């Protein structure tokens, strides 16, 4: 399918949680969307069935550079252009620093941070053609630090450094790049926390609650829109006041 007029987006990790809601809102805003997933085949099928031809799901491991390259190539073959890249896929492997294994470190850094480098590098030629945008999903953890998340916090603050440098490199060439840093959001990632941990976290959030996927997806779509074209290299916290 070749698309001269319709805007096309690529979202990593769009089968569940925040990414799935971003995909839904992008389709509602008129985009054609490719999204990736690694293992959640039935959830990916559900998203495809909901949105039909506007959607291209691709199984891909974002920790693998070639897998990302393949997915971007498939997106271009299918939709013909790329206007917006949203780097959303991410994982956590929380544990005390002393017990954190090298594998806990590398899998989180490869999946959360190296993936952003690889997506941006493989997609940049198409974003230059469209004068497109990149939105990188980081985390409040990379801003304030959360105990038990040394690997995750490092990967997320790495995203902000990468974004600031890349934004300056491409600012004069029409591609703008920003970070959205969510606080604690109700998804599978936070549902797996023990109830007592969730309660303790809520006590630290000025708004007294976790955010919803919709509250993050709205801002992600806005940051990727033409309305935000004069903004680049910025980190936008959406965290109920937690990092204030
Ligand atoms: P989630 O519900 O666990 O969903 C993660 C998504 O990423 C799924 O679609 C998953 O697909 C995909 N994914 C994970 N590893 C992948 C891999 N190696 N290759 C391809 N896809 C992969 O997570 P979420 O809570 O929506 O989080 C989305 C993003 O927001 C992450 O970057 C996370 O760090 C960030 N964030 C979340 C919170 C929060 O409180 N939830 C707070 C701050 C930041 P599969 O299931 O198929 O692997």
74-119: per-residue pLDDT in tens?
999 999 999 999 999 999 999 999 999 999 999 999 999 999 999 9
Mean pLDDT, rounded, for 208-214: 98
Residue with tokens 């991410």: 90
Share of the chain above pLDDT 70, in %: 98
Q: Over 80: is that where the pLDDT of 2 sits?
A: no
Distance 102 CA to ligand 1 centre (A): 21
- Band of residue 156 on the pLDDT scale cut at 50, 70, 90: very high
**Percent above pLDDT 90 for the chain:** 98
Give distance in angstroms: CA of 5 to centre of ligand 1: 30
CB 150 within 8 A of CB 47: no
Looking at the chain, how many residues does it have?
244
Residue of 1, 2, 85, 109 whose CA lies nearest to 36: 85
Tell me what the mean pLDDT of segment 19-25 comes to. Answer: 98
- DSSP-derived letter for residue 101 is -
69 pLDDT above the threshold of 90: yes
Is 152 an active-site residue? Answer: yes
Task: From the candidates 31, 126, 152, 170, give the one annotated as an active-site residue.
Answer: 152
Q: How far apart are the C-alpha atoms of 158 and 152, rounded to whole Å? A: 10
Instruction: For ligand 1, atom 11, name the residue with the nearest CA.
Output: 37
pLDDT of residue 3 exceeding 60, the answer is: no
């Amino acid at each position: 399918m070749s698309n001269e007029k319709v805007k096309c987006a690529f979202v990593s990790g769009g089968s569940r949680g925040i990414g799935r809601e971003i995909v839904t809102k992008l389709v509602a805003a008129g985009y054609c969307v490719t999204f990736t997933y690694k293992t959640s085949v039935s959830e990916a099928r559900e998203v495809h069935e909901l949105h039909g031809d506007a959607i291209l799901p691709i199984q891909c491991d974002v920790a693998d550079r070639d897998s990302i390259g393949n997915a971007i190539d498939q997106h271009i073959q299918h939709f013909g252009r790329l206007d917006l890249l949203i780097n959303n896929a991410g994982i956590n492997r929380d544990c005390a620093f002393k017990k954190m294994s090298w594998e806990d470190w590398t899998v989180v850094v490869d999946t959360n941070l190296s993936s952003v480098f690889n997506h941006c590098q493989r997609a940049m030629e198409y974003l230059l053609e469209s004068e497109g945008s990149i939105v990188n999903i980081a985390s409040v953890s990379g801003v304030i630090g959360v105990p038990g998340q040394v690997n995750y916090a490092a990967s997320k603050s790495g995203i902000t450094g990468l974004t600031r440098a890349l934004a300056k490199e491409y600012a004069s060439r029409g591609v703008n790049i920003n970070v959205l840093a969510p606080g604690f959001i109700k998804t599978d990632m936070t549902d797996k926390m023990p109830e007592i941990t969730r309660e303790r976290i809520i006590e630290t959030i000025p708004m007294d609650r976790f955010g919803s996927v919709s509250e993050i997806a709205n801002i992600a779509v806005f940051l990727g829109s033409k309305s935000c074209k004069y903004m680049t290299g910025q980190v936008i916290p959406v965290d109920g006041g937690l990092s204030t």
